[in-house]
Structure 1
Amino acid sequence: MDTIQVFDTTLRDGEQSPGASMEVEQKVNIARSLAGMGVDVIEAGFPISSPKQFEGTKLICEQVRTSTIAGLSRAIQKDIDIAAEALKKAANSRVHTFLATSPLHREYKLRKSKEEIIEIVSWAVKYAKNLCSEVEFSAEDALRTEKDYLAEVVDAAIKAGASIVNIPDTVGYATPQEIEEYFTYLREHVDKIDTIILSAHCHDDLGLATANTLTAIKAGARQVEVTVNGIGERAGNAALEEIVTGIGIRNDFWKVRTNVDPSKIYTTSRLLSATIGYPIPRNKAIIGENAFAHEAGIHQDGVLKHRGTYEILTPDYVGRKSNNIVLGRHSGLNGLRSRLKHLSIHVEEETLQELYKKFLEIADKKREVYDSDLIAIVSNFEEEEDNTFFKIEHFSMYLEPNTQPRAEVTLRIGEKNKKASASGDGPIDAIFSAICSLVDYTVVLEEYHVTAISPGTNALGEAVAVTTIEGKECIGRASSTDILEASAHAFVYALNHFQFYLLHSNNEHKES
């Protein structure tokens, strides 16, 4: 049975989702979780695009040693040089360079002829091959490129030394039949194509990313490019959890396997969701809360008699355990350390003591701490540690019949405390209004939601506040057993993200 390489681009293509950007340490934690799952290749970033992308890629190379680490680059010398430099300390590295090939891109974006494109592809792959042992080439917008011309481009990339050639459906336009036709055509018309790995990278604009990726496997692809929870540009990418589980459950049909441990899927999915503040839809395949729920009487009766009547996989298969209550107020530091290790969550020993204090605060409030709670605690602990220019020292809420709710807030701004009170249409509006009155920025709350992380009336609630601050989108998230407290902290963390952006922008301006 052939093994399909799983190439995860959550930290590159996935991070390009609006509001999904991560701090460097958060990216490293996600990378560790991906490596713990058994992901073959982790695309750590686009190093040339920003100092943060370069630093994140470099740090992942130093701290994640079991997966190949890839860095994206355009087919430009400076891009390739920077990517190779960021990847220098990786145990296994890959420069992933790309150039568009479709008529639309050739004419309107690149303004280059077919011959010029092939010359650039040959040069870029050869140049990258001198700097990195493994090179992947992607023909951007391949599925809207003429088949015969795409075959010429792929042939040029192989002759130049590419080990992997990616055939992306960049805009999610293709159908499964077209995917099969393209991959079959390339295998029949490109010399020495059997000496390299063909890769599929499908977007979900028409909801076909999973179907297209699986079809590509049937047609000869031996690498799939995916993201956790399917995040990515526009409607997103093929979802790792859907591809891996689809192959695993139906290997009788696909007749391939992956190296990914499916029992780690749920933890990684929740960790990403908590990190970027993207809630998982309840009806999301594999990982949504309703994926294993049965309400219809006929379904319930069938499942009680035999799970296979209406369930094609068990929750345990993807790491969803109903009995994952493992920690409480009497759990010691070693218990916390052990559970974090089981969840493939790495925390530096020097910060574990502080995290343990935060864990005990939550455990005192809700007694039983679920894995999902623990993931949120870790994510929000990092958020709090990294962003502390603004901090809520105290807030009170006054609710009386027939009057508007009123909030009083004490906010630390730098080294000074400021107080304010405000009324609002509801308690959340009052809290946000009080905080806004203490800052000099124009802040607009674009989106707000609260999600229960774990079961029970004392569940940890996660609040996400999507804001526009002086025209810049900033997202804050926080969790607490008190949703008003979580909401206030989420809003303040959005302010901290804006402050970090200002500081970072000023530093870059000084350096330039």
Structure 2
Amino acid sequence: MMNCSKYKRVPVLHYPEREWPDKEIQHAPIWVSVDLRDGNQALVEPMVVEEKIELFNMLVKMGFKEIEVGFPAASQIEYDFLRQLVDRKMIPDDVTVQVLTQCRDQLIKRTFEAIQGIPKAIVHIYNSTSTLQREVVFHASKEEVKQIALDGVDMVKKYMSDYDGKVILEYSPESFTGTEMDYAVEVCDAVVERWGATPDNKVIINLPATVEMTTPNVYADQIEWCGKHFKNRESIILSIHPHNDRGTATAATELAMLAGAERVEGTLLGNGERTGNVDILNLAYNMFSQGIDPQLEISDIKHIVEVCERVTKMPTDPRKPYAGKLVFTAFSGSHQDAISKGVAALKQRTDGIWEVPYLPIDPSDIGRKYEPVVRINSQSGKGGVAFVMDTYYGFRLPKGMHKEFADIIQSIAERQGEVAPPQIMEEFKKNYIDRKEPMHFRKCQITDREYEGGGFATAATLTFTDHGVERVVEGTGNGPIDAVQRALEKALHINIRVLDYSEHALTTGSEAQAASYIHLLNQDTGEATYGVGISSNITRASFRGIFSAVNRLFYRDEQ
């Protein structure tokens, strides 16, 4: 057994007054991309300057108004990248760049050198405040750790005197989730007071889940508790920076927003230290699925993923929410059937509301296509195969035919694995449309006959080849299909009955073709099967469907 006794539970904030469970997300927060800093520092192969510029440009096009561009005092490449943005005038007027620095004089001085020429910048200072780090890393008291933060504020103020732009201060008590809440508030209040924040000159207080330590509801409690206990809340922009150590960063962020967080720092696709930062795309698409404008241009997920994968050299998991290649794919037969019916029902609606089982959003809204929605393997069912035939090729198979054709495809899938749509169509042609031998329909002349007493009947003069030999036979019935059926019964000495018949147009316009489906019964054995015919003439398509069914029913061994 694993030794779980070596771990202790993280203390939970006692906060029965919480109000966030009764709230709903109403609008998007201030989004802050930290891909170029937090995301970049976590890469095996960090981005070079031109890769950073490509990602920065995409973030701007996506609509991010605050972008953390790096830690310019940490390395030359970080510094050079920021200077490239400045010198090449790549920072739009409505975008504020953010730079990170520790509370050290030389680092803050270098940071201000890097941002010269930028009209407005967020200077983000931080120091760790958790009990564990105070004890094992800094060996410092609470007062000493708080003083580090205040010294950082003073240094920022000192170097602001030679800066020709506006500075917005951001402060993070790093390792916030492992910090006593009253102490975290004490430090943040001291920073806000030292900065001289006002409602017109707010400070950003960023409460990070530097390490995700417990369940998302606890983080929400911490955010709401702090928000209600800050002395000067109206002068604070309350920000969060969640990590994903427990795999619940998205939930923690959404609950923290309910608890009062106004600003979210994260990365595209969740790249970041250890298990990553919160995935901003995941959050934004979640809002979108609830009818909330995420205030980001995220309609082409494929392009976003391609850029991220190229500059980070990291693949995207195929099951990654919204972004993965398989997230709009159904292999399960019951899921496929429900999706197929849901899409069909959607076409009949006029309210414009998207409601399809298993698809929380319309894939086409984010640049995906319907094609990947249903993929066929041995676990797929009749609904999935029918969906592919309809969606890809326009064949609306009658319900009774779904299982018959799906069984054919499933036997192939059991041998080879996934069956692609082109192969499904190929099998459909081989098994139905091209079943023209040994009985091959050539032509049929239809006439109406009138009997004494005013009765009418349909006469068919049928021409076909029987094992290559041309034959001409006649039959009479109550309509063209019945007449051809009776002609074949007489010519081939078989006993058949048409159980069902349906047809529809395949295309529109003067070259439109029709598809006809004939469900045919061998009355001697009780066996039944479908035949399919296509033609620009619907009656001819029906005759071809009858011959297809006859060949499948009586001459299977000859094909």
Normalised to the residue count of structure 2, the TM-score between the two structures is: 0.55
Aligned-pair identity (%) = 31
Map 1:361-440 to 2 at 5 A: none
> Are residues 1:111 and 2:145 paired?
no
Residue number in structure 1 paired with 2:174: 140
Q: Is the 8 A contact 1:158 1:193 kept in 2?
A: no
Q: Structure 1 residues 206, 257: closer, same or farther in 2, change over 3 A?
A: same
Amino acid at match of 2:283: I
Q: How far, CA to CA, are the matches of 2:255 and 2:301 in structure 1?
A: 22
Quote how far apart the aligned CAs of 1:260 are: 1.2
In the other structure, the counterpart of 1:285 is: 321
Residue of 234, 246, 269 corresponding to 2:305? 269
2:365 matched residue in structure 1: 317
Instruction: State which drifts further: 144-153 or 85-94.
Output: 85-94
CA 1:258–1:85: 2 relative to 1, 3 Å: farther
Give the whole-Å Cα distance in 1 for the aligned partners of 2:167 and 2:318.
Answer: 43
Q: How does 1:150-161 map to 2 (within 5 A)?
A: 150-161=184-195
Deviation at 1:2, TM superposition (A): 4.7
Q: 1:372-412 CA distances to partner (integer Å, 9 max, x unpaired)?
A: xxxxxxxxxxxxxxxxxxxxxxxxxxxxxxxxxxxxxxxxx
What's 2:340 paired with? 304
Q: 2:80, 2:333 → 1: CA distance? A: 54
Could you tell me how far apart the structure 1 residues matched to 2:182 and 2:293 are? 31
Q: Deviations over 1:317-336 (max 9, x none)?
A: 3333579xxxxxxxxxxxxx
Q: Could you tell me how far apart the structure 2 residues matched to 1:22 and 1:267 are? A: 18
Q: Which residue of 2 aligns with 1:6?
A: 31
Structure 1 pair 271–163 and aligned structure 2 pair: CA distance change class (3 A): same
Q: Counterparts of 1:152-191 in structure 2 under 5 Å?
A: 152-161=186-195, 163-191=203-231
TM-score normalized by the length of structure 1? 0.60
Deviation for aligned residue 1:135: 1.1
Counterpart-to-counterpart distance in 1, 2:123 and 2:151: 14
Aligned equivalent of 1:89 = 117
After TM superposition, give the deviation of residue 20 of structure 1 in Å: 4.2
Q: 1:72 to 1:215 in 2, by over 3 A?
A: same
Residue segments in structure 2 that go unaligned for 5+ positions in a row: 1-25, 196-201, 344-355, 372-420, 423-559
Q: For each residue in 1:219-267, what CA deviation from the matched residue of structure 2 results, as whole angstroms up to 9, or x when unmatched? A: 000111111111111111101111111122235xxxx754212214442
Q: CA deviation at 1:12?
A: 0.7
Give the residue type in structure 1 aligned to 2:251: A
Matches of 1:64 and 1:20, distance apart in 2? 25
Partners of 1:295 and 1:64 in 2: CA distance: 45
Unmatched 5+ residue regions in structure 1? Answer: 324-454, 457-512
Cα deviation digits, residues 294-314 of structure 1 (max 9, x gap):
111221122222241110112
Aligned AA for 1:134? I
The alignment's C-alpha RMSD in Å is 2.3
1:294 corresponds, among 330, 334, 344, to 330
**Structure 2 residue 285 is matched with structure 1 residue 245:** yes
| Cα distance, 1:91 vs structure 2 | 4.4
What code does the residue aligned with 2:365 have? Y
Q: 1:58 pairs with 51, 73, 83, which one?
A: 83
In structure 2, C-alpha distance between the alignment counterparts of 1:43 and 1:236, rounded to whole Å: 16
Q: Is the 8 A contact 1:266 1:287 kept in 2?
A: yes
Q: Is the 8 A contact 1:34 1:268 kept in 2?
A: no
Relative to structure 1, is the Cα distance of residues 303 and 135 closer, same or farther in structure 2, using a 3 angstrom cutoff?
same
Mapped contact 1:102–1:142 kept (Cα < 8 A): yes
How far apart, in 2, do the equivalents of 1:264 and 1:195 lie?
37
How much does 1:191 deviate?
Answer: 1.2
Distance in 2 between residues matched to 1:183 and 1:213, nearest whole Å: 10
Partner-residue secondary structure (3-state), 1:164: strand
Q: Is the 8 A contact 1:8 1:39 kept in 2?
A: yes
Distance 1:185 1:105 in 2: 22
Deviation track 1:261-287 (CA, whole Å, cap 9, x = no partner) reads 221444222201022221111111110
Deviations 1:42-74 (A, max 9, x none): 111111111001111222343131421111100
Equivalent residue number for residue 202 of structure 1: 242
For residues 40 and 321 of structure 1, what CA distance do their matches in structure 2 show?
30
Does residue 70 of structure 2 align to residue 45 of structure 1? yes
Matched, 1:149 2:186: no
| Residues 6 and 258, structure 1, Cα contact 8 Å, conserved in 2 | no
| Rounded Cα–Cα distance in structure 2 between residues aligned with 1:321 and 1:86 | 44
- 1:265, 1:136 → 2: CA distance? 31
The equivalent of 2:60 in structure 1 is: 35
CA contact (8 A) 2:216 2:249 kept: no
- 1:2 and 1:160 map into 2 onto residues whose CA distance is 32
Query: In structure 2, what is the Cα distance between the partners aligned to 1:45 and 1:249?
Result: 32
User: Of the two, which has the highest radius of gyration?
Assistant: 2
- Indicate conservation of the 8 Å contact 1:134/1:163, yes or no: yes
Q: CA deviation at 1:195?
A: 2.1
Contact 2:101–2:123 (8 Å) recurs in 1: yes
CA distance 1:298–1:46, shift in 2 (3 Å)? same
* Superimposed CA distance per residue, residues 126-148 of structure 1 (whole angstroms, 9 cap, x where no aligned partner): 43243552111111000100011
Moved more, 179-188 or 4-13: 179-188
Looking at structure 1, the residues matched to 53 and 120 of structure 2 have their Cα atoms a distance apart, in angstroms, of: 16
1:228 aligns with 2:268: yes
| Pair 279,3 (structure 1): closer, same or farther in 2 beyond 3 Å | closer
CA distance in 1, matches of 2:337, 2:119: 52
| Aligned counterparts of 1:84 and 1:208: Cα–Cα separation in 2 | 36
Q: Contact conserved, 1:157 with 1:165, CA < 8 A, in 2?
A: no
Equivalent AA in structure 1 for residue 279 of structure 2: A
- Give, in angstroms, the shift of residue 3 of structure 1: 4.3
1:473 paired residue number: none
The worse-fitting range, judged by mean Cα deviation, of 281-290 and 162-171 is: 162-171
The structure showing larger relative contact order (alpha-carbon pairs under 8 Å, at least 6 residues apart) is 1
Change (3 A) 1:194 1:2: farther
Q: Give the letter for the 1:184 counterpart.
A: E
Q: Counterpart in 2 of 1:477?
A: none
2:99 counterpart (60, 71, 84):
71
